[in-house]
Structure 1
Amino acid sequence: MNIANRLLLAALCLLPTLVCAAPAGDAEAGRRAFQACASCHAVGPRAHSGFGPQLNGLIGRRAGSLKDYRYSEAMTRSGIVWDERTLAAFIKGPSDVVPGTRMRFWGIGDERRIADLIAYLRGFSLEGGAVERK
């Protein structure tokens, strides 16, 4: 086995640890962190869009797709389908991900807090009911 093959094998063996290196979110900490978002966004069975869109069923939803909120053209044309990666990037820097977004928020630099928020948001179905946590 030559050196290139050995390096490749070593890299493949380390890959699972790199995937697991991203912080796992704490939904309870995310609930507390969401209080800062709640002035514009809502979640849960009674959530409705207001100053910002409601965030029920966000993971897997196409950006700018709720009928009860008037999104920026940039958001509706972004083509984003929210997953944990795109949502984390958006929370970190909204205008970096969707230039022209109307979201008036500078972003969060703390990856742990972002992971916590995503863990919390993942817990709501589109109708606002609880989703079984994985």
Structure 2
Amino acid sequence: MTDSPFDDVSHFKMPRDIPMLKSKFIFLIIMLPALTREAHAESNSIRGKELYDSRCIACHSIDQNRVGPAHQGVFNRRAGQAPGYNYSEALKNAKLVWSEKTLDAWLKSPEETIPGQAMGYSVSDAQDRADLIAYLKKFSTR
């Protein structure tokens, strides 16, 4: 068997800055989600617009009441209170204020959120709901 020049590594010395590089690497791994959150939120709202245009636009609009109410300013608005829309009694009487949490519950199961409401559509996928909510949040006026 031949001796390899790589068999004896006793002459190898670790550079002094390895511990510092290691700590910077760990810091980057910990901070990466926070550093990318803003870019991720933007991409969610872009995907949310695509979802809105493909799934919601048949009944809703941002600016106009259609079969369903307009979504302009939906955040922090009490359910059943979009101007000029004729809501079901269940929504008119609901004591719910639209937020990320309440919109997520609503989109997941409108009937469980407000029994007796009239919306016959739900969004089962959590990421789809989050993306739709990110898109709608862009139109908050409050």
Alignment root-mean-square deviation, CA? 1.8
Alignment correspondent of 2:138: 123
Q: Which residue of 1 aligns with 2:31?
A: none
Higher relative contact order (Cα pairs below 8 Å, separated by 6+ residues): 1
Over alpha carbons, which structure has the higher Rg? Answer: 2
Identity %: 37
Separation in 1 of the partners of 2:81 and 2:109? Answer: 20
What is the distance in 2 between the residues matched to 1:115 and 1:66? Answer: 22
AA of the residue aligned to 2:65 = S
Structure 2 stretches lacking a partner, 5+ long: 1-33, 35-39
- Identify the residue that residue 72 of structure 2 maps to in structure 1: 56
Q: Which runs of 4+ in 1 moved over 4 A?
A: none
CA distance in 2, matches of 1:95, 1:86: 13
| Number of aligned residues | 101
Quote the Cα distance in structure 1 between the aligned partners of 2:83 and 2:74.
14
Q: Does 1:31 align with 2:49?
A: yes
* 1:104, distance to aligned residue in structure 2 (A): 1.8
TM-score w.r.t. length of structure 1:
0.71
- Say which structure is richer in helix: 2
Tell me the CA shift for residue 125 of structure 1. Answer: 3.4
> Equivalent of 2:91, from 75, 80, 103?
75
Q: 1:75 deviation in Å? A: 0.5
